[in-house]
Amino acid sequence: MGFVAGKEVSVLKNAPFKDPVEYRLMGYNVSLRRVEAGLIEVVTPEEALLLHPHSYDGTIDLEELKISAREKGRMISVALVGNPNCGKTTLFNRLTNSKEHVGNYSGVTVGATKSTLKKNDYHFELTDLPGTYSLTSYTPEELYTRNFILQEMPDIVVNVIDASNLERNLFLTTQLIDMDIKVVIALNMYDDLQASGSNLKMKKLARLTGIPIVPTTAFSGEGLEDLLEKLIEVYEDRDPVVRHIHINYGEEMEKSIGLIRSEIKKDKPLTATFSSRYLSISLIDKDPEALKVLESSSNYQSIKEVTGHEIVRLEHRLDDDASQLITDAKYGFIAGALKECYKQGVMNRTIATEKIDRVMTDKYIGFPIFLGMMFLTFYATFTLGALPAEWIMKGVTLISKTVADLMGSGMLKDLLTDGVIRGLGSVIVFMPNILILFFFISLMEDTGYMARAAFIMDKLMHKMGLHGRSFIPMVMGFGCNVPAIMATRTIRNRGDRLLTMMIIPFMSCSARLPVYVVLISAFFPNYPALIFIGIYLLGIAVAILFSKILNRTVFKRKETPFVMELPPYRMPVLKNSLLHMWDKASQYLKKIGGTILVAVVLIWALEYFPRNENSATDMVGSTSGLAPVPKVSQMEQSYLGRIGHAVEPVIRPLGFDWKMGVSLIAGIPAKEIVIGTMAVLYGTENDQHKNESLQTSLQNQRYEVGPKAGEPVFNQAVALAFLVFVLLYFPCIAVIASIKRESGSWKYAILTVLYTTAAAWIGAFLTYHVVLLFI
């Protein structure tokens, strides 16, 4: 009709009711219905402007529009569709150089991720969709993926298939075939297929299905260039393999499909966008979404009638549920196709997986193995991590000293050394621990063990009103609560997800560690390990308690059944694990860069102002190389000190003095700051061994005034109460910000602040008074 690339089209007039529309192009007029016109791609002047903002000089001439049209024509939109765990995200990341999260447990990708890349003259717009086994509309993932295909109409769908599990993966393919869209199969995990000694006649399978097949190994990048080339070929309609085949559903069903189809076909505009055969099959499949699509159709009633009649007839004839008949026929097609072109090798991964699982999830030794893994992880995190942490501390001290030496004294120097460098230093020092922890978590995810851990823990988590999947984020919480809260994205049920998010703050993150170290070594030198473990366990116990409370009050949820995927075990790829590790660590770093830096500077300002009259002489010189810090009197009369005094009545029942109050408030931006503040307030800035001396000075602190004058500030009761408070009150601003972001509302963030603080107060109060009874 003259609708070819690069021609100018203008709208002449709309018919009444705005349909059809008359267009003018190449010197003559045509009239098209809106739906049909929708299938023709046009570039409007506005879009051209977006494509070339720089060349805009007030008018857009025809020449520019033509260039834009040609460019838009060279944009291929591609959607990645496949089962969970077939490697879609790995493929996506490899192709687009992004770092989306991959993992060997399902549900990692929840929404869609988009990215673009260039190949030859083409721009690809790639979309990574959630993994699904099917395109019916039973789960959110299925519905999402299917709506994306039908509504966004990508130019080509890449069906990613796990080559080591063809039968199950091809089920989705049969549904794509029914939809009558352009599909290319990426036969992923081709390395596994080769290693297993299986034999697949790819060309033959491609001819049978009418879909081109490209073997790929996503994580090494093999076959990806071929895949892109194939996509271009298919887009340009140059591929000889592509053809639309009909899966044969058997004589009876084909008869029904035919009848329903001819009814649907009466509605022309509808069949312009949807394959009528696909709709007919979906109707027999009792797919509620298909009915919804047809609802607007003029002959909806008669379509429904014919369908109802045919389903009854089929079920009576073939003595089975209609939807089951469709599924059976699809598997029949797959079995037939595979029989002709596939010979399974002996080294099958599923068999290996079963063997490994017999040990890993064993009734008796599964749990000890799991505990062993956890122990190994935490041992490596804290013991191995201590050494590089020490180096970093030394490095930061050196930098701080150098800066201090280079700059003349003044506010800027104080801001830099006491605020920025010291603040950042106390955070970066945890990088080694976090990197190691995340490395282990990545390893467990990539091998597939994490899914088993969730499986093993499921029963226990159930008792807490959670399920196995919550376990992963909760473990991550021991490292840093921020990524842990992000990790709750893998929990599909919103109630479960919110609940998990809200109890994660009770998982003692590594930022609280320095407080434990200092106080435990100062006041419990005889049994440090016991107190350590006790604190962590207390956190878990409070989490359980709150999970129960929240379940009864805020969420009031019913149990939802779910399938726990146990994906096959895989050899981890070092590069992948390192990438994951970096991914998570950089999230933590971003937390430093943003929130913490602002908070540290804010706290610094609160303790720096208002200045003392004689502040110039009130600075304490540094002999240790650490920057000079304000003297205690400055701290006391500063805004921070005043706040500390103001809250003293509230914390006095816990046995705390105002300095502890200040430290706790200073710790609101980040728990790392608590110890730094204590070091300033309890006056240890002159000493070489900061921590050691902090311990002794805590032991020697005495009340100067008031009813307790002369008594030591700290005893075991106070110390333990303080530990409990630090454990339970909300970890930091970044966590609250994450809860707000992930839950989508301030409600849950504020709620978290309130109940964690309340729990901390009550916990510390009880601890203080109970321990007092014993000492």
Residue ranges that bind Mg ion, judged by CB under 5 A: 89, 108-109
Nearer to ligand GDP, 453 or 749 (CB): 453
Nearer to Mg ion, 518 or 566 (CB): 566
Give the shortest CB-107-to-ligand GDP separation in angstroms: 8
Give the shortest CB-81-to-ligand GDP separation in angstroms: 10
693 binds, among ligand GDP, Mg ion, none (CB under 5 to 8 A by kind): none
Considering only the C-alpha atoms of the chain, give the largest distance between any 2 of them, rounded to a whole number of Å.
102
Give the shortest CB-104-to-ligand GDP separation in angstroms: 4
User: Quick check: 86 binds ligand GDP (CB under 6 A)?
Assistant: yes
Distance CA 455, CA 467 (A): 9
223 binds, among Mg ion, ligand GDP, none (CB under 5 to 8 A by kind): none
Nearer to Mg ion, 109 or 595 (CB): 109
User: Quick check: 159 binds ligand GDP (CB under 6 A)?
Assistant: no
Segment interacting with ligand GDP (CB under 6 A) among 86-94, 367-375, 516-524, 757-765? 86-94
Among 95, 102, 270, 509, binds ligand GDP (CB under 6 A): 102
**What mask, x for binding ligand GDP by CB under 6 A, covers residues 185 to 224?**
---xx-xx------------------------xxx-----
Distance CA 720, CA 180 (A): 68
| C-beta separation of 217 from 191 below 8 A | yes
Nearer to Mg ion, 108 or 453 (CB): 108
Nearer to Mg ion, 109 or 282 (CB): 109
* DSSP three-state, residue 49: helix
231 binds, among Mg ion, ligand GDP, none (CB under 5 to 8 A by kind): none
Distance CA 457, CA 413 (A): 51
User: Quick check: 104 binds ligand GDP (CB under 6 A)?
Assistant: yes
Helix axes 733-743, 494-503, angle to 10 degrees: 170
Give the shortest CB-399-to-Mg ion separation in angstroms: 40
Nearer to Mg ion, 87 or 683 (CB): 87
List 250's β-bridge partners, or say none.
none
N- to C-terminal Cα separation, the chain:
95
Give the shortest CB-114-to-Mg ion separation in angstroms: 14
**What mask, x for binding ligand GDP by CB under 6 A, covers residues 418 to 457?**
----------------------------x-----------
Distance CA 502, CA 745 (A): 13
Cβ neighbours of residue 457 closer than 8 Å, sequence gap 6 or more: 370, 468, 471
| C-beta separation of 89 from 101 below 8 A | yes
Report the residue number whose CB is nearest to ligand GDP. 87
Distance CA 424, CA 428 (A): 6
User: Quick check: 235 binds ligand GDP (CB under 6 A)?
Assistant: no
Reading phi first (left if > 0) and then psi (alpha if -120 to 50, else beta), residue 19 is in beta
Span 342-381, contacts to ligand GDP by CB under 6 A: none
191 binds, among ligand GDP, Mg ion, none (CB under 5 to 8 A by kind): ligand GDP
Distance CA 472, CA 36 (A): 49
Instruction: Please report which residue ranges of 74-223 form alpha helices under DSSP H.
Output: 88-96, 140-147, 166-179, 190-195, 202-209
Give the tokens for residue 150: 């039908």
DSSP secondary structure letter of residue 554? I
The number of C-alpha atoms within 13 Å of 166 and in the hemisphere containing its C-beta is: 27
Closest to 170 measured CA to CA, from 340, 315, 293: 340
User: Quick check: 566 binds ligand GDP (CB under 6 A)?
Assistant: no
Nearer to ligand GDP, 512 or 570 (CB): 570
Residue 377: alpha-carbon gap to chain centroid: 21
Closest to 751 measured CA to CA, from 725, 730, 723, 773: 730
What would the DSSP string read from start to end of 495-518? Answer: HHHHHHHHHGGGS--GGGHHHHHH
- Inter-CA distances, 142 with 165, 291, 304, Å: 20, 16, 24
Segment interacting with ligand GDP (CB under 6 A) among 103-111, 396-404, 415-423, 501-509? 103-111
Among 109, 677, 684, 743, binds ligand GDP (CB under 6 A): 109
Give the tokens for residue 343: 């010979």
Nearer to ligand GDP, 448 or 473 (CB): 448
User: Quick check: 131 binds ligand GDP (CB under 6 A)?
Assistant: yes
User: Quick check: 584 binds ligand GDP (CB under 6 A)?
Assistant: no
Give the shortest CB-187-to-ligand GDP separation in angstroms: 9
Positive or negative CA dihedral for 763, 768, 769, 771? positive
User: Quick check: 565 binds ligand GDP (CB under 6 A)?
Assistant: no
86 binds, among Mg ion, ligand GDP, none (CB under 5 to 8 A by kind): ligand GDP
| C-beta separation of 748 from 501 below 8 A | yes
Among 87, 154, 661, 731, binds ligand GDP (CB under 6 A): 87
User: Judging by beta carbons within 10 Å of its beta carbon (0-12, 13-18, 19+), is residue 672 exposed, middle or buried?
Assistant: buried
217 binds, among Mg ion, ligand GDP, none (CB under 5 to 8 A by kind): ligand GDP
- Inter-CA distances, 458 with 367, 384, 540, 549, 561, Å: 12, 30, 16, 20, 12
User: Quick check: 89 binds ligand GDP (CB under 6 A)?
Assistant: yes
What's the one-letter identity of residue 655? G
Give the shortest CB-116-to-ligand GDP separation in angstroms: 19
Give the tokens for residue 47: 């879009």
Give the shortest CB-154-to-Mg ion separation in angstroms: 17
User: Quick check: 576 binds ligand GDP (CB under 6 A)?
Assistant: yes
Give the shortest CB-95-to-ligand GDP separation in angstroms: 12
DSSP secondary structure letter of residue 671? T
Nearer to ligand GDP, 131 or 683 (CB): 131
| C-beta separation of 619 from 628 below 8 A | yes
Nearer to ligand GDP, 377 or 576 (CB): 576
Give the shortest CB-348-to-Mg ion separation in angstroms: 23
User: Quick check: 472 binds ligand GDP (CB under 6 A)?
Assistant: no
385 binds, among Mg ion, ligand GDP, none (CB under 5 to 8 A by kind): none
Segment interacting with ligand GDP (CB under 6 A) among 83-91, 136-144, 300-308, 394-402? 83-91
Bond before 610 cis per omega within 30 degrees: yes
Distance CA 375, CA 354 (A): 25
Give the shortest CB-109-to-ligand GDP separation in angstroms: 5
Give the shortest CB-102-to-ligand GDP separation in angstroms: 3
- Inter-CA distances, 688 with 377, 624, 631, Å: 33, 5, 17
Bond before 20 cis per omega within 30 degrees: yes
Nearer to ligand GDP, 161 or 635 (CB): 161
Measured at the CA of 112, the angle between CA 108 and CA 117, to 5 degrees, comes to 110
User: Judging by beta carbons within 10 Å of its beta carbon (0-12, 13-18, 19+), is residue 355 exposed, middle or buried?
Assistant: exposed
Give the shortest CB-108-to-ligand GDP separation in angstroms: 5
User: Quick check: 672 binds ligand GDP (CB under 6 A)?
Assistant: no
User: Quick check: 85 binds ligand GDP (CB under 6 A)?
Assistant: yes
Closest to 281 measured CA to CA, from 249, 304, 305: 249
Give the shortest CB-489-to-ligand GDP separation in angstroms: 13
Nearer to ligand GDP, 94 or 512 (CB): 94
Give the tokens for residue 570: 């895989």
User: Quick check: 84 binds ligand GDP (CB under 6 A)?
Assistant: yes
Give the shortest CB-264-to-ligand GDP separation in angstroms: 34
Site residues (vs ligand GDP, CB under 6 A): 82, 84-90, 102-104, 108-109, 131, 188-189, 191-192, 217-219, 446, 570, 573, 576
